[in-house]
């Protein structure tokens, strides 16, 4: 067990000891405790991670130990590494994230891939990303298909500010970011493709405890988690061009419910796609 206030500020502490103690402490909250410990220590003492491996015996100075202790405490409290680092890799891009944005998940790259398969290179089309967060889906599509115009919306002004900064930082010009409730900011527009990773966690899901540092509004959507999906399935129909497609991420037990919702809203050609773990994750429907 690691004591409160570990690592100690007074004792001699080597890089190797700091890493093994932190790894043990992090194993309760992280799937990659050693990697997290290395990344946190490298940040705290401002050296590349690779430096740690050849310098296990080196003593840490007090300021370094203090910085390490502070971030370690946050991580042990469940704060995602992405919020500590302020960034997350998605679709080979380094995206800025903040506690106002969901941390983009690798599963969402499945949705991006499905959308890109629908857009031959060098064709023009209009694509909408509903609930863009840090901009992950919109940025990936706009980057891969520079001829397309992408519109991305979110109800969170703080999330949109991060998304806009990401577009600027990555020099991706073909995205417009709009503030508002789902399709509200684009209701007189029309799109060839609509992509969305809406909140879909039921409001009593026990996993929410682990996700407590992420915005609730990005995760939770009513009793069964399907409120946003119901709204989007109904409203997206009015802004999709004839022959257009809707790509929707959802929970791994929601595929039947999502299919029924889309069918009721008169979408056709409904097909579900699995993620890398083999779980149903994205449903595609046509108009």
Contacts with ligand SAM, 51-90, as mask; x by CB under 6 A: ----------------------------------------
Q: Does 201 bind ligand GLN (CB under 6 A)?
A: yes
Q: Does 254 bind ligand SAM (CB under 6 A)?
A: no
List, in order, residues 6 or more apart from 9 with CB less than 8 Å away: 62, 65, 66, 69
Among 72, 137, 139, 239, the residue binding ligand SAM under the rule CB under 6 A is 137
Work out how close the CB of 118 gets to ligand GLN at its nearest, in angstroms, rounded to a whole number.
21
Burial of 178 (0-12, 13-18, 19+ CB in 10 A): middle
Q: Does 200 bind ligand GLN (CB under 6 A)?
A: yes
Q: Which of positions 131-150 make contact with ligand GLN (CB under 6 A)? A: none
Q: Does 198 bind ligand SAM (CB under 6 A)?
A: yes
Work out how close the CB of 132 gets to ligand SAM at its nearest, in angstroms, rounded to a whole number.
5
Whole-angstrom CA distances from 94 to 104, 134, 180, 277 are 11, 11, 26, 24
Q: Does 247 bind ligand SAM (CB under 6 A)?
A: no
Q: Does 232 bind ligand GLN (CB under 6 A)?
A: no
Among 71, 166, 197, 255, the residue binding ligand SAM under the rule CB under 6 A is 197
Whole-angstrom CA distances from 78 to 74, 95, 104, 207 are 7, 21, 17, 12
List, in order, residues 6 or more apart from 1 with CB less than 8 Å away: none
Asked if 141 and 130 touch (Cβ cutoff 8 Å), the reply is no
Closest C-alpha among 232, 227, 266 to residue 247: 232
CA torsion through residues 165, 130, 139, 85, sign:
positive
Distance from C-alpha of 191 to C-alpha of 239, rounded to nearest angstrom: 6
Query: Could you say which of ligand GLN, ligand SAM, none residue 23 binds, taking C-beta under 5 to 8 angstroms by partner kind?
Result: none
Among the candidate windows 81-89, 90-98, 197-205, 230-238, which touches ligand GLN by CB under 6 A?
Answer: 197-205
Query: Could you say which of ligand GLN, ligand SAM, none residue 155 binds, taking C-beta under 5 to 8 angstroms by partner kind?
Result: ligand SAM
Question: Residue 18 in 3-state DSSP?
Answer: helix
- State both tokens at 170: 């990555």
Query: Could you say which of ligand SAM, ligand GLN, none residue 7 binds, taking C-beta under 5 to 8 angstroms by partner kind?
Result: none
Among the candidate windows 12-20, 109-117, 173-181, 195-203, which touches ligand GLN by CB under 6 A?
Answer: 195-203
For residue 180, the 8-state DSSP code is S
> 194-213 in b/e burial notation, b at 16+ Cβ within 10 A?
bbbbbbbbbeeeeeeeebee
Q: Which residues bind ligand GLN (CB under 6 A)?
A: 105, 197, 199-201, 211, 219, 249
Q: Which residues bind ligand SAM (CB under 6 A)?
A: 102, 104, 108, 131-133, 136-137, 153-156, 159, 181-182, 197-199, 217-218
């Amino acid at each position: 067990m690691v004591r409160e206030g570990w690592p100690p500020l007074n004792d001699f502490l080597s890089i190797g000891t700091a890493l093994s103690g932190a790894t043990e402490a992090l194993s309760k909250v992280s799937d990659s405790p050693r990697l997290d410990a290395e990344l946190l220590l490298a940040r705290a003492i401002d050296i590349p991670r690779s430096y740690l491996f050849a310098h296990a015996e080196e003593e840490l100075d007090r300021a370094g130990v203090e910085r390490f202790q502070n971030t370690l405490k946050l991580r042990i409290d469940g704060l995602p590494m992405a919020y500590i680092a302020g960034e997350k890799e998605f679709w080979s891009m380094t995206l800025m994230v903040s506690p106002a944005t969901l941390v983009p998940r690798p599963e969402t790259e499945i949705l991006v891939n499905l959308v890109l398969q629908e857009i031959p290179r060098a064709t023009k089309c209009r694509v909408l990303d509903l609930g863009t967060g840090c901009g992950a889906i919109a940025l990936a599509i706009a980057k891969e298909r520079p001829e397309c115009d992408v519109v991305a919306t979110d109800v969170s002004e703080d999330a949109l500010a991060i998304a806009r900064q990401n577009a600027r930082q990555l020099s991706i010009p073909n995205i417009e970011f709009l503030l508002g409730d789902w399709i509200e900011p684009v209701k007189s527009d029309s799109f060839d493709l609509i992509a969305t990773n809406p909140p879909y966690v039921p409001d009593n899901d026990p996993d929410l405890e682990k996700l407590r540092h992420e915005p609730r509004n990005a995760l939770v959507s009513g009793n069964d988690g399907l409120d946003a999906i119901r709204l989007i399935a109904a409203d997206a129909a009015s802004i999709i061009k004839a022959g257009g497609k809707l790509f929707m991420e959802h929970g791994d037990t929601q595929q039947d419910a999502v299919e029924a919702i889309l069918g009721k809203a008169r979408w056709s050609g409904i097909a579900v796609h699995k993620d890398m773990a083999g779980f149903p994750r994205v449903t595609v429907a046509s108009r």
